[in-house]
Chain A
Amino acid sequence: MTGSPRKIGSAKELERLKKSILDEKKKNAAKKRILLCAGAGCIASGSLRLKKALEEKIREEKLDVEVVETGCLGPCAQGPVVVVDPDHTFYENLKVEDAADLVNEHLRKGKPVERLMPRDAKTSKPVPKQDQMDFFQKQTKIVLRNCGAIDPLKIGDYIARDGYQALAKILTSMKPEEVIDQVKKSGLRGRGGAGFPTGMKWEFTRQAPGDVKYVICNADEGDPGAFMDRSVLEGDPHSVIEGMAVAAFAVGSSRGFVYVRAEYPLAVSRLTKAIEHAKEAGLLGENILGTGFNFDLEIRMGSGAFVCGEETALMNSIEGKRGEPRPRPPFPSKSGLWGKPSLLNNVETYANIPVILTKGAEWYATFGTVPSKGTKVFALAGAIRNTGLVEVPIGTPLGELIYDIGGGIKGGKKYKAAQIGGPSGGCIPKEFLNVALDYKTLEELGAIMGSGGLIVMDEDSCMVDVARFFLDFVQDESCGKCVPCRVGTKRMLEILERICAGQGEEGDVEKLVRLGLQIKETSLCGLGQTAPNPVLSTIRHFRKEYDQHIRERHCEAGVCPSLVRASCQTACPAGVDVPGFVSLVGEKRYAEALKLHRERNPFAAVCARVCFHTCEDKCRRATLDDSVSIRGIKRFMVDQEVVIQVPEVRHNEQNAARKIAIVGAGPAGLSCAYFLARLGYRPTVLESEPRPGGMLVQTIPAYRLPRETLAREIRMIEQLGVTIETNKRLGKDFTLQELRDKKYDAIFLGIGAPESFGLGIMGEDADGVVMALPFLREYNIRGSVPVGKKVVVVGGGNAAIDAARTALRLGAEAVTVLYRRSQEEMPAYAEEVRESIYEGIKLMPLTHPVEILKGPDGKVSGVRCMTMKLGDYDRSGRRSPTADGADQFTLEADQVIGAIGQTLQAGKLFDLKDAEIKMTQNKFIYADSVTGQTSVPGIFAGGDAASGPWSVVAAIGAGERAAVGIDQFLTGEDHAFWREEKVVDTDFDPDVDPVPYPRESVRSIPVEKRKHNFDEVELSWNENVAQRQAKRCLRCDYGKTVTRRGNK
């Protein structure tokens, strides 16, 4: 079994050779051997060094074990990987040092090495066998049938696995027309991008008149993010050679070319050798297998021009010309290379051919969907755990590919979009995770199947920047022959660059769409015709991000350099100068730090306790070790406050005379009042409850937020000239129309989302069923609430967890939380869920209440529940829970607390005679994202009432925006002086290495000491810890000036 066997003279000889190779293999079947991935990915990860180490060790131990270099096995991220045969044990992430263990333990003693095996994502147990891994189990390998299983440089290995059997079969027993017929019947479509039916292309070329015809393989895999062709060429080059030889026979050609891009030196070298071997074996060249059929194959290398992936440009390049496309028609099947009829297919298409002919078109057509048969290889890359090469039947849902095979998103981040089809394709957002990946559905979503590059993006990718990236790419690669592509993409790029730099204008998006459509219609070749796709698709699915860039000068993902000073600050809905206050804390300048914090957010002490810290999620330090513990540092900072620190207030007689009413003293209303007061206004806040604070005082329990802490910051706001009137309920004690009649100059509605959704199940009317909000409100405002012994809470949000922990503290013996999805998908903050479990609350995810059972007295006696399983992906990008049919059980209960969502019942509240306040689709108040103004001039809104239930800090941010909006409405100018970034004069040396201290988490008091009271759970650090933690900040803000956020 050498690399190049003697010349094979006939199909019979080929059969005999195959048999002799198989016999020899059978003899050695029990012999151990190591299949080592030598795909370019694993080589880059050091697989060749590993090979050397393994071989040395094997020699030392005097073992008879062969180490076989194979093509790509697939899981590139885990490289280098090896498979030990005959038992198919899979090892990953191997280092040179692991060679000794592997040889000693597994090869010598026969004991597989567990620590080097992949682990199951759920159980963390080692998975010993390749075919037991999720990554492989869900794949169907047709194109990649030999990749990773054979030595690509041994033609014998290929022959042993039915290699060249298809060629032998057609040469000895089929007519060209029959071959074409089989390909047509298989339903195979071109895998290079456009998806043209392969059999038809073959037929056209066959029918074209001419003695000389060419067969060409397009291996100019230029789409960034696609590497399937490369892997096939590196791992199974003979399958492409055979596929091309079959095609040559079918169309009547005797000469072929493979056009490979120059960036793939390894693929070129392996293919060159494979062609040599095939020639030596008589499987290429003259009189193949003694049938009189001649076919010769040459390699041509690209020279770094993306456009050469376009078929007509590719042919120009082979002819030795500039790789510019030619107008079509005539199509290559009529007039192609040197004007002769030419057949062009892509690598993956050819690799399919031998199997179709050996196993039959009917067999092939059983895979895939009705209009799109077979399998497709995808290259998974980007923010996904198992990056690498996978092959699945066409029609597999995107979500399955990403989560089941791809292992989900890296680092616990959220899926944002998948970019499919490279610079000609588009982005698919989470709403469509359930769509089947086939040619038609992808096109409907504005993407294309393309060559199969699939790049997964998480929330750290800015979609405008991604669109800009692709346009930059095509603009760079446009050959310049036609004007729409050369000039049009340039103009589009200019607009996108402006938007990313914070200089976008209203109408830019519309201009992009118009230009894009024109370029698509008028460009000469596929490059230009698809170039606008990434822009158009991101506009379609992520319009909001474009608007944010243009209108708010805000890049949510924290990517665009001109808009982002530090990603933590961008992530903060209130825009707090995080690096500023953290570095001030690091120099023990606590008063200044607090003042800086309150420039953008008055509730420093409140947020130090209840904020869900999106800033930490975006902290760049996480790429080094772990994010900076920003909330912990803030907590220490606010605990150092002796005299309350108030930043600059600008008195203004004119403003003081203006009348402003703020409805609702929650975080949005109070924040709005605070910023107005700093501009010299003296607003009045009208609050329905006896105490101000909104959700902060009504629902957030005191063990999370001590009431004095809250009261202190509210008093600070009052002292700036804000009047708070309690027990003033909108719709009861006053109406909007009355406020207008009283000549208020502006009104802000911060009325929250105080109503609860009902459970909507039988027995809901039973005595003992309450909703979380009234339950919490009653305890927090009035001081007592009836609590059962066995409490069941329904819901997975913060209100559910707050209610559960409050019930526990008030004496409930058992508290169970039912949530219909999985625990990871709970909207409640993970810290809160974790603490509640410590305290003894029982969490039952994937459980749904069906009926509340009543005793004869009408009181709750239990909850009949149903277990759920995760089904298909829904519009929220999560797997939707569906009943698993079987399991129903009853939980004993004497109280049920519903916490499944909040809403705003605004209808009767808005009684304006001459105007109607517009509501959003979700029945919240429509408010402009920049100014907070509603559809009625002079009336503004923010917080949960406008956004739907969200976070405290988001409400604070909305209050600030509305304050600026109100001021602008009244004065016509923007006076938001706090939005100018302050230069903090703390010491920082950018050349010094970051401090090595690890992240410290926030401490809390022991469970036993807190379970039965409302003492604050979290504790502050000591000064030493706080100092060290503050020094961990990488100071992303250092030396940066950015476009000011907001409307200026």
Chain B
Amino acid sequence: MEASPQKTKNSEVAQNTACACQPTEEEMLRSLDVVIDGFAKTDGALIPILQTAQNLFGYLPKSVLKHISLRLGIPYSEVTGVVTFYSFFSTVPRGKHVVRVCLGTACYVRGGKEVLEAFKKNLKINVGETTPDRMFSLEVGRCFGACGLAPVAMINDDVHQRVKSAKIRDIISQYQHEGEDVKEAKS
């Protein structure tokens, strides 16, 4: 892997810059520096930096992780160790909208499994995958604390309650057709 880091980096970034609105690698690393500087006084800043970086880029490409490792003086192995430990971090590009189907206990006993199947069928992807148009990624969640309204699915930060497998198509199309999140979830 270490033999041709340049190549890997390029191909990753190439993927990511397929769309004109995506920043170049240089721009990315520059904005990353701003992030890292912002956490200069924070103890244990690695995780907050990774979180912010992922929000910025949508995922954590190798180049970003290497850069963070160098800037913080934390061995690359340790950085990837942290990244792979937490399920929220992704080292592969994710869709614009992240669908997380809850399989917590309450959702499970009220049909969360069927909801997940319906998302798989409609998006034509499996858990952990992203649609070819980079619009949707599908993940499984372990309880969003909306158990009273089970089964639920979270799309980005919106909680969709009492989801019926028959209605999945409608939910997806809301996000397909609008650029912004449809349901107001943040206050």
A interface residues with partner B (beta carbon < 8 Å): 38, 40-41, 43-46, 48-49, 69, 76-77, 79, 153, 221-227, 230-231, 262-266, 269-270, 300-306, 317-324, 338, 379-383, 387-389, 419, 422, 453, 455, 457, 461, 466, 469-470, 473, 476-477, 479, 623
Which listed residue (A263, A318, A319, A461) contacts B143, Cβ 8 A? A263
Q: What residues of B have a CB within 8 angstroms of the CB of A387 in the complex?
A: 106, 147-150
Interface-forming stretch among B13-21, B22-30, B78-86? B78-86
Among candidates B142, B148, B183, B185, residue contacting A77 with C-beta atoms closer than 8 Å: B148
In contact, A225 and B185 (Cβ under 8 angstroms): no
Please tell me which stretch of B42-50, B130-138, B169-177 contacts chain A, meaning at least 4 of its Cβ atoms lie within 8 angstroms of it.
B42-50
Chain B hits for A230, CB < 8 A:
145
**B143 with A224: CB separation less than 8 A:** yes
Can you sample 13 A-B contacts with CB below 8 Å? A40-B159, A44-B160, A48-B184, A263-B141, A264-B145, A303-B86, A305-B87, A320-B44, A321-B46, A379-B145, A387-B106, A387-B149, A453-B105
Question: Which residues from A are CB-within-8-Å of B144?
Answer: 40, 263-264
> How far, in Å, is B38 (CB) from chain A's closest CB?
14
Considering the complex of A and B, which 3 residue pairs feature the smallest CB-CB distances, nearest first?
Answer: A76-B148, A224-B104, A227-B145
Give the distance to chain A from B74, nearest Cβ to Cβ, in Å.
8
Point out the residues of chain B lying under 8 angstroms from A473, CB to CB. 142
A303 and B51 contact, CB distance less than 8 A: yes
Whether A225 contacts B47 by the Cβ 8 Å rule is no
Are A319 and B44 also in contact (CB < 8 A) when A44-B161, A477-B142 are?
A: yes
In the complex the two chains form, what is the Cα distance from A223 to B157 in whole Å? 20
Bound-state CA distance A231–B108 (Å) is 21
B105 in contact with A419 (CB, 8 Å): yes
Supply 13 further A-B pairs (C-beta < 8 A) apart from A38-B187, A301-B51, A453-B105. Answer: A40-B145, A43-B187, A222-B142, A263-B145, A265-B186, A300-B44, A301-B47, A320-B45, A323-B86, A324-B85, A379-B145, A382-B105, A382-B110
With A44-B146, A262-B88, A263-B144 as given contacts, are A318 and B44 in contact (CB-CB < 8 Å)?
yes
Least CB separation from A38: chain B residue: B187
State in angstroms the CA–CA spacing of A380 and B106 once bound together.
9
Closest to A223 in B: B143
Tell yes or no: B76 within 8 A of A by CB. Answer: no
Residues of chain A within 8 A (CB-CB) of B108 are 224, 469
When distances are taken between beta carbons in the complex, the residues of chain A under 8 Å from B152 are 44
B residues sitting closer than 8 Å to A (CB atoms) are 43-48, 50-51, 78, 81-82, 85-89, 103-111, 141-150, 152, 154, 157-161, 183-187
Contact B149 A44 (CB under 8 A): yes
Residues of A within 8 A of B48 (CB): 300-301
Q: Which residues of A contact B44 (CB under 8 A)?
A: 300, 318-321
**Cα(A379)–Cα(B144), bound, Å:** 13
| Chain B residues near A623 (CB-CB < 8 A) | 111
Which residue of chain B is the closest to A224 with respect to CB atoms?
B104
Contact B185–A321 (Cβ < 8 Å): no
Q: Which residues of A contact B46 (CB under 8 A)?
A: 320-321
CB distance from A54 to the nearest CB of B (A): 14
B94 to chain A, nearest CB (A): 13
Q: Is B161 touching A45 in the complex (CB atoms < 8 A)?
A: yes
Contacts of A306 in B (CB 8 A): 142
Residues of A within 8 A of B106 (CB): 224-225, 381-382, 387, 455
B71 CB to closest chain A CB (Å) equals 14
Choice from A48, A262, A380, A466 contacting B148 with Cβ under 8 Å? A380
Closest to B79 in A: A320
Question: Closest approach, in angstroms, between the C-beta of B135 and any C-beta of chain A?
Answer: 21
Q: Is the CB of B82 within 8 A of A322?
A: yes
Among residues of B, the one whose C-beta sits closest to the C-beta of A74 is B148
Q: Which residues of A contact B154 (CB under 8 A)?
A: 263
Contact between A455 and B86, CB atoms less than 8 A apart: no
In the assembled complex, the Cα of A419 lies from the Cα of B110 at a distance in Å of 14
Chain B residues within 8 Å of A317, by CB: 47
Whether the Cβ atoms of B109 and A461 lie closer than 8 Å is yes
Q: Which of A41, A305, A389 contacts B149 (CB 8 A)?
A: A41
- Least CB distance from A134 to B in Å reads 17
Q: How far is the CB of A337 from chain B (nearest CB, A)?
A: 9
Complex CA gap A470/B103 in Å reads 11
What are the residues of chain A within 8 A of B187 when measuring CB–CB?
38, 43, 48, 69, 153, 266, 269-270
Given A382-B109, A469-B108, A322 contacting B148 (CB threshold 8 A): no
Chain A residues with Cβ under 8 A from B103's Cβ? 224
B108 CB to nearest A CB, Å: 6
Given contacts A43-B185, A270-B187, A320-B46, contact A455 B141 (CB under 8 A): no
B143 touches A41 (CB 8 A): no
- Report whether B82 and A221 are in contact in the complex, using a CB–CB cutoff of 8 Å: no
- Chain A residues with CB under 8 A of B146: 40-41, 44, 76, 227
Nearest-Cβ distance from residue B151 to partner chain A, whole angstroms: 11
Contacts of A453 in B (CB 8 A): 105, 147
Query: Complex formed: what's the CA distance from A231 to B157 in Å?
Result: 16
Closest CB in chain B relative to A426 CB, distance in Å: 12
Which among A77, A265, A379, A461 has the highest number of chain B CB atoms within 10 Å? A265
Residues of B within 8 A of A43 (CB): 159, 184-185, 187
Q: Please indicate the chain B residues that have their CB under 8 angstroms from the CB of A231 in the complex.
A: 145
- A301 to B106: give the CA distance in the assembly, Å: 24
A322 touches B142 (CB 8 A): no
B85 — which chain A residues lie within 8 A by C-beta?
305, 322-324, 479
Residue of B nearest to A561 (CB): B113
CA of A455 to CA of B148, assembled, Å: 10
Contact of B109 among A77, A269, A383 (CB under 8 A): A383
- The interface residues of chain A lying within 8 Å CB-to-CB of B88 are 262, 302-304
Known: A48-B187, A224-B104, A455-B105. A303 touches B148 (CB 8 A): no
Question: How far apart sit A407 and B144, CA to CA, in the bound complex (Å)?
Answer: 24
Q: Which residues of A contact B160 (CB under 8 A)?
A: 44
State the Cβ distance, B179 to closest chain A Cβ, in Å: 19
Taken together as a complex, chains A and B put the C-alpha atoms of A302 and B85 apart, in Å, by 11
> Nearest chain B CB to A277's CB is how many angstroms away?
15
Given A48-B184, A320-B45, are A76 and B149 also a contact pair (CB < 8 Å)? yes
Given A225-B143, A422-B105, are A41 and B161 also a contact pair (CB < 8 Å)? yes
- Min C-beta distance of B97 to chain A, whole Å: 15
Instruction: List the A residue with the shortest CB-CB distance to B42.
Output: A298
- Check A266–B185 contact: CB distance below 8 A: yes
Using Cβ atoms and an 8 Å threshold, which residues of chain B touch A44? Answer: 146, 149, 152, 158-161, 183, 185
Q: A461–B109 Cα gap in the complex (Å)?
A: 7
Query: Which residues of chain B are within 8 angstroms of A457 by Cβ–Cβ distance?
Result: 109
Residue of B148, B184, B185 contacting most chain A CB atoms (<10 Å): B148
Residues of B contacting A379 with CB < 8 Å?
145, 147-148
Tell me, rounded to whole Å, the shortest Cβ–Cβ distance linking B103 to chain A: 8
Candidates B89, B149, B185, B186; contact of A79 at CB < 8 Å: B149
Distance of A266 Cα from B141 Cα, bound (Å): 17
Pair A224/B142 contact, Cβ less than 8 Å:
yes
Cα-based distance from A663 to B86 in the complex (angstroms): 66
Complex CA–CA separation, A623 to B166 (angstroms) = 12
Residues of B with C-beta under 8 A to A318? 44
Would A338 and B147 count as touching, CB distance under 8 A?
no
Residues of A within 8 A of B186 (CB): 265-266, 269
Given A224-B106, A382-B106, A455-B106: A45 and B149 within 8 A (CB)?
yes
Q: How near does chain B come to A310, taking the closest CB pair, in angstroms?
A: 14
Contact A469 B105, beta carbon cutoff 8 Å: yes
Nearest residue in A to B152 (C-beta to C-beta)? A44
- What residue in chain B is nearest A255 (Cβ atoms)? B43
| Complex alpha-carbon distance, A306 and B86, angstroms | 9
CA separation between A753 and B167, bound complex, in Å? 51
Also in contact, A305 and B159, with CB within 8 A (given A49-B184, A224-B106): no
* Chain B residue at minimal CB-CB distance from A230: B145
Return A989 CB to nearest CB of chain B, in Å: 16
CA–CA, A157 to B104, complex, Å?
34
